[in-house]
Chains A and B, each alone.
Chain A
Amino acid sequence: MAEKFDVIVVGAGPAGTACAYTLAKAGVNVLLIERGEYPGSKNVMGGVLYRKMMDDIIPEFYKEAPVERHIVEQRFMMLDQESAVTFSYKGLEWDQEPYNNFTVLRAKFDQWFADQAVKQGALLINETVVRECIVENGKVVGVRTDRPEGDLYADVVVLADGVNSLLAKSLGFHKEFRPDEVALAVMEVLKLDKKIIEDRFSLEGNQGCTFEIFGDSTKGVLGTAWLYTNKDSVNIGVGAMLSGLIKHKMKPYELLDYVKNHPVLRPYIQGCEQQEYLAHLIPEGGYHSMPRVVGNGVIVVGDAAQLVNAIHREGSNMAMASGVMAADTIIQARELGGDFSERGLDNYRVNLLNSFVGQDLKKYKDATHHFEKFPHYFDKYIPMMNRAASQMFTIDGTPKREKQKKIWNDLGSAGEKFRMARDLFQAWRVMK
C-alpha cells in the first residue's frame, strides 16, 4: 500500500524548501523529494542571496547559515572592448546586521536550508526523481517516482522542480519555453586566497562585493556577466538570452572565456584555480511567460512558475516567497475543511500576483522583450558611453568645449540622435 502524506514537495531548492519548512513548522506531514545527491547539488545561481525573504522564514539565519560574504559594494560596469565605465555604490550601512544581501554557494546553502526543514519535521529523500504526477478524476493525487514501489499519495503536490518543470508541462500548464523566454548562464567558481580577494576588491573581513557587467561582456547580445566574491573563491559567469545566443551563433562557454580574458576583468581573477563549472537555464520570460500556477491538488512555485526578475537579478527571494505563499494557502485550505481543488487553492495565485513578486513581474513585463528587440542599447550606446568618458578624461590640451562638441558629434546625425532619444525614452517607459 503506497504511503500518503498531507503534502509532497518536488524539488529542494529555495522555493520547495521554503514551502516544506513552513508546512512542517505548522505541523503538516510533508515529504520533500530531491533528485540530486543532496539538496543544492544540482542547483545553480549567480550567487547573491537577498536577506529579507530568508529572514522572514528563519530570523537571523545569517548567524548560522553558511553564507560567504555580506555585500557592501555593488559595481555596475558598462564594458567596451578595452575600457569600462563603472558606477559603484559602497555603503557601510550594509556592513552591519541585519545586512542587505550575501553571496552564497548553493551546494552548501541549500543543504543547510533543507536541514532546517528536516529539523521542523519535514521528511527529506534524495536521489529520487519524480517522473510524473498521479492524476485521478482530473485531480493530482500523488507522484510517481523512478524507484521500485515508487508511488506516493498526497492531498496537495507542490511542484518546485525548477526552470524546465517537466511536471507542470506534462500537466499541460505550459508549453516548451521559447528561446526568448529563457537565458542560458554559465559560471565558474574560481579558488582564490582570502587575503588576495580582500586586497584586490578592497574588502575587510567578511565584506563582499558584486560586479554586474554589461555590454562587451556578452558581445552585444542581451545579457550580463557577473563577478561575485565568496570567502575564498569568486564566481564569474555570463548569461544571455538563448534566442540571442542562437541568433549570433555564440557558445556560452566561449563567451565566458572571452569575459575571463577581457583586459579590464582579467586582473581580478589572475592566479585563480578553477574549482567548479556550472551551467543553468534561467527563466526570464517574466510575467508574459508565467504558466498556470494552480490546479486541482497542485501548486507550482519558484523557477517552475517562471518567477524571476531578470532586470534586478532576483529569483531565489521570489522563489522563497512563492514557496511560503503556497504553504500558507495549503495550511488555510486545511483549516477550512480541506478543499484542495483549483478553487480551494486559488488564494495562492491571488496572493502571488498581489505580492511584490507579481507586482514586480508585471512592472517589468515588457523589459526583457524590449531590450531584446533593440540590441543597440548594448552594441552601440555602451561603446558610445565609453568613448565619451575617454574623451572627457583624456587630458591632451583640447579645450573642454571642443571635447563636448566631439562627443555630441559622436552621437551621430540628427536622425540618429532622435532615434537614441526615442530608445532611451522607451527604455525608461518599460522600466518605470
Chain B
Amino acid sequence: MLHIVACIKQVPDTKIIKMNPKTNTMDRSSAPAILNPYDAHAVEEAVRLKARYGGIVSVVTMGPPPAVKAIKKCIEIGADEGYMITDRAFAGADTLATSYALTKALEKIAKIRPIDLIICGKMTIDGDTGQVGPGIARRLDIPPLTNVKKVVEINKAEGFAVIHRKLEDGHEVIQSSLPCLFSVEKDINEIPYSPLPNMLKAARYQPHIWSVDDLEEVDRTLLGLKGSPTIVSKVWPPEKPKGGEQLQGTPAEQVDRLLEILLTKKELFAVKGGE
C-alpha cells in the first residue's frame, strides 16, 4: 500500500489571461481559475501508480478558499483525499515560503498516514519557476527527481523507485531511495475522461481545510510575504512577434501560396543542431 501525495495549485488560465497595460500585472479576473495543467498529470500519475500497486492518493494545495475547486478536479481524476491550507498568513508567498508552508502541511499529512512518494507538476503556468517541488524535497531531506517522464517501478518493500528523467537529447534512468519527490513532465501520461462515479464523488467531496494554527512547529517569519525574499522588480508582457504574412485571395489561391512558401523557405524545417 502506497501513500502518494500530489502537490497541486489553482492558477489563472494563462492561455487567455490579459495583462493590465497600466500596472503590468496579470488581470486575474480576466481568466478562469483552473487546476495547473502539469499538476493534473501529477495527480493522474499518482492515480495510475495506485492502480498498479494499491494505495491511497492525497492531494495538497495552498491557496484561497475558491481553490477547493482545484481539489475537486483532482478527486474527479481519481484522488482519494484532499488537503488545503488557507490563511492570510500564507498570502504573498514566493517559492521559498510556499515550499516551507507546503512542507509543514505534508508533515501533518504524514502523521495521519506516512508518505511514500510526493509528486509535483514540473512547474505552474503562472509562475513558470519549477522551484517549489525541489524546495519541498530539500526541506524534507528526500531526493528530488525533476523532469520525470516515466515511472518504471516503485518498490516499497525494498525501498526504491526507478524512473526516466527527460533530457535535452534523450533520457536518463535513475534509481532512487523512497520516499522521494518527482516533478513530472506533461508527456508522462494522458488524462482520460473521468468516469461518472468520480464526478459524483467530487461533487460531494469536502476537503480537509487547515489554517496556519492547525500546522505544527511553524516559524511564522518564514511564511507569506514576510518569508519571501524574492522581489519582483518588473513584469512586462513579451513583445508580440513581428512580421508574418496574411494570405489573401480565394481559398485555392491561398493554398497555392502557402505551398509555395512551405516549399521555398527551408529554414522553417531546420532542425536544432543539424539534420
Contacts and interface: CB of A to CB of B under 8 A. Distances in A.
A148 B203 CA distance: 17
A125 B205 CA distance: 12
B203 A149 contact: no
Name the interface size band of chain B: 10 to 19
B197 interface: yes
- Which of B197, B199, B204 is the most central at the interface, judged by chain A CB atoms within 10 Å of its CB? B199
Contacts of B203: 123-125
Interface in A143-186: 145-152
A128 B199 CA distance: 9
Contact of B199 (A37, A125, A151): A125
A128 B196 CA distance: 8
A147 B200 contact: no
A148 B195 contact: yes
A276 interface: no
B196 A149 contact: yes
B195 A147 contact: yes
A115 B199 CA distance: 17
Contact of B195 (A3, A124, A150): A150
Nearest to B197: A149
A123 B196 contact: no
Chain B interface mostly helix, strand, loop or mixed? Answer: helix
Nearest to A31: B200
A68 B134 CA distance: 46
Nearest to B69: A38
A147 B196 contact: yes
A209 B199 CA distance: 41
A194 to B, nearest CB: 15
Name the interface size band of chain A: 10 to 19
Nearest to A152: B196
B66 to A, nearest CB: 12
Interface string B195-211: 11101101110000000
A145 B202 CA distance: 17
Interface in A100-146: 123-125, 128, 145-146
- Which of B192, B196, B203, B204 is the most central at the interface, judged by chain A CB atoms within 10 Å of its CB? B196
A126 to B, nearest CB: 8
A123 B193 contact: no
Contacts of A125: 196, 199-200, 202-203
B194 interface: yes
Nearest to B192: A148
A71 to B, nearest CB: 25
Interface in B9-50: 32
B256 to A, nearest CB: 27
A221 to B, nearest CB: 29
A124 B199 CA distance: 9
A128 B192 CA distance: 14
A37 to B, nearest CB: 8
Contact of B200 (A3, A37, A148): A3
Contacts of B204: 123
Nearest to A5: B200
Contacts of B192: 148
Contacts of A145: 196
Contacts of B32: 37
A93 B203 CA distance: 43
A149 B195 contact: yes
Interface in B165-215: 192-197, 199-200, 202-204
B69 to A, nearest CB: 10
Contacts of B194: 147-148
Interface in A374-401: none
B10 to A, nearest CB: 14
Contacts of A3: 197, 200
A31 B201 CA distance: 12
Contacts of A123: 200, 203-204
- Which of A31, A37, A146, A149 is the most central at the interface, judged by chain B CB atoms within 10 Å of its CB? A149
Nearest to A38: B32
Q: Which 10 A-B pairs have the closest CB atoms?
A: A148-B195, A147-B196, A149-B195, A125-B199, A150-B196, A123-B203, A125-B203, A149-B196, A149-B197, A147-B195
14 contacts: A3-B197, A123-B203, A124-B203, A125-B200, A128-B199, A145-B196, A146-B193, A148-B194, A148-B195, A148-B196, A149-B196, A149-B197, A150-B196, A152-B196
Given A123-B204, A125-B202, A125-B203, 9 more contacts: A3-B197, A3-B200, A146-B193, A148-B192, A148-B196, A149-B196, A150-B195, A150-B196, A152-B196
